[in-house]
């Protein structure tokens, strides 16, 4: 089955569900233009999530996707504390920016179980997961007549997801921005480029494969379709859209960055994620001590990141980005989607040797 038929969309282009950088306007604009808009709901408490869904539905009657982080990401040793070197470094940053004492480490995301209850009650057409998915969640979603997809960063993960019954798998290449979806083994062994990962996942599973990672324009879309992908998922490409509403500093840094600056690090959140390297990442990585687990590591820098972003200081904020950053275009989401579709058709025509 094609992804267009699977999700009831016009074009095989999915907007990545970027938690913290999207908006209901972005979701609606992409879905209204024929793609599949998406919202990252991991940080939303159930009542906020329900209101978010209602707001999306007030702007589109088309299918859309809501993304959750798997419950496994919420399980960690709660007795762990910030190491002395990390604490000293963070305290020095707080003094530099005029902030009060460090916050207590706490969980930032979920609870996934309660979030999923809302998605099922609200009949969200497509539900996606990052960091794996649980069998009973897949079964609950299917019993409700809804679709479920999940990210894989290796062939083994893709086959595991297929065995759990997901409707499609997102093959997340190493170039992708934001958190790596790795849930089996060491993430360093799962940093497989999109060009290598997608065709091998396509050969390994019998469900549709959605390519993700470094896809910014028609060339990436057509290449991934040639590799066997049924659709593509694009995140960084939408960061230049006005509906995304990322802070001006983030957009400015994206526009002046190169692929080599988009680095994979655990220093920000405690889980591997690709973002723009800055002073915080470099200095936190240099510490000779373990970091806190996800999402405790993320929580202790929250006031610092916010203050720095408000000040226009690029040294400390989280600025997720994929490696295709230099191909970023600034335009409304619907216009971007329409351009991607048109340019893909033109490129396919050129490759086929058809006349203009």
Number of neighbouring beta carbons within 10 Å of residue 53: 23
Residue labelled with tokens 């490409």: 237
Give the pLDDT score at 108. Answer: 87
Structure tokens at 126: 């497509």
Give the pLDDT score at 301. Answer: 96
Summarize the confidence of residues 43-71 as an average pLDDT: 97
**DSSP conformation class of 103:** P
pLDDT over threshold 60, residue 111: yes
Summarize the confidence of residues 62-76 as an average pLDDT: 92
Q: Rounded to an integer, what distance in angstroms lies between the CA atom of residue 224 and that of residue 217?
A: 11
Give the pLDDT score at 354. Answer: 58
Average confidence score pLDDT of the chain: 96
DSSP bridge pairs for 151: 170
Give the pLDDT score at 78. Answer: 74
Summarize the confidence of residues 161-188 as an average pLDDT: 97
Three-state secondary structure call for residue 10:
coil
For residue 76, what pLDDT band results from cuts at 50, 70 and 90?
Answer: confident
Q: Rounded to an integer, what distance in angstroms lies between the CA atom of residue 110 and that of residue 242?
A: 28
pLDDT over threshold 90, residue 77: no
Q: Is the CB of residue 118 less than 8 Å from the CB of residue 144?
A: no
Q: Give the homologous superfamily in CATH for domain 3-351.
A: Aldolase class I (3.20.20.70)
Structure tokens at 151: 């990210």
Summarize the confidence of residues 60-80 as an average pLDDT: 90
Structure tokens at 2: 């094609």
Q: Domain residue spans in the chain? A: 3-351
Summarize the confidence of residues 103-123 as an average pLDDT: 94
Three-state secondary structure call for residue 48:
helix
Give the pLDDT score at 353. Answer: 86
What is the DSSP annotation of 124-163?
-SEEEEES---HHHHHHHHHTT-EEEEEESSHHHHHHHHH
pLDDT over threshold 70, residue 355: no
Give the pLDDT score at 356. Answer: 53
Intra-chain end-to-end CA distance of the chain, in Å:
31
Q: Among 95-109, 224-238, 312-326, 332-346, which is the least confidently predicted range?
A: 95-109
Give the pLDDT score at 312. Answer: 97
Q: What is the 3-state secondary structure (H, E, C) of 160-190?
A: HHHHHCCCEEEEECCCCCEECCCCCCCHHHH
């Amino acid at each position: 089955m094609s992804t267009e038929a699977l999700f009831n969309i016009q074009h095989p282009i999915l907007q990545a569900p970027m938690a913290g950088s999207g908006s209901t306007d972005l979701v609606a604009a992409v879905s209204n233009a024929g793609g599949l808009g998406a919202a990252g709901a991991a940080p939303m408490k159930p009542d906020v999530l329900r209101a978010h869904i209602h707001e999306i539905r007030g702007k589109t009657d088309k299918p859309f996707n809501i993304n959750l982080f798997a419950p496994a990401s919420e399980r960690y040793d709660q007795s762990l504390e910030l190491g002395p070197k990390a604490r000293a470094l963070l305290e020095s940053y707080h003094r530099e920016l005029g902030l009060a004492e460090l916050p207590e480490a706490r969980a930032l995301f979920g609870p996934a179980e309660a979030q999923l209850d809302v998605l099922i009650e609200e009949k969200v057409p497509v539900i996606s997961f990052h960091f794996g998915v649980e069998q009973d969640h897949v079964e609950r979603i299917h019993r409700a007549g809804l679709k479920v997809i999940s990210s894989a960063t290796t062939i083994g993960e893709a086959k595991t997801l297929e065995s759990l019954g997901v409707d499609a798998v997102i093959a997340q290449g190493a170039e992708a921005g934001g958190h790596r979806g790795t849930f089996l083994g060491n993430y360093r062994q799962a940093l497989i480029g999109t060009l290598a990962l997608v065709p091998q996942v396509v050969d390994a599973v019998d469900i549709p494969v959605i390519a993700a990672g470094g896809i910014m324009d028609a060339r990436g879309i057509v290449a991934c379709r040639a590799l066997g992908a049924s659709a593509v998922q694009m995140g960084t490409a939408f960061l230049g859209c006005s509906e995304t509403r990322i802070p001006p500093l983030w957009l400015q840094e994206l526009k002046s960055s190169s692929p080599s600056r988009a680095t994979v690090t655990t220093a920000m959140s405690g889980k591997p994620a690709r973002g723009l390297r800055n002073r915080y990442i470099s200095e936190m990585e240099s510490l000779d001590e373990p970091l806190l687990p996800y999402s405790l590591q993320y929580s202790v820098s929250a006031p610092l990141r916010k203050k720095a972003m408000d000040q226009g200081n690029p040294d400390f904020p989280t600025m997720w980005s994929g490696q295709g950053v230099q191909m970023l275009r600034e335009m409304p989401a619907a216009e971007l989607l329409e351009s991607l579709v048109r340019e893909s058709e033109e490129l396919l025509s050129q490759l086929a040797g058809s006349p203009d």
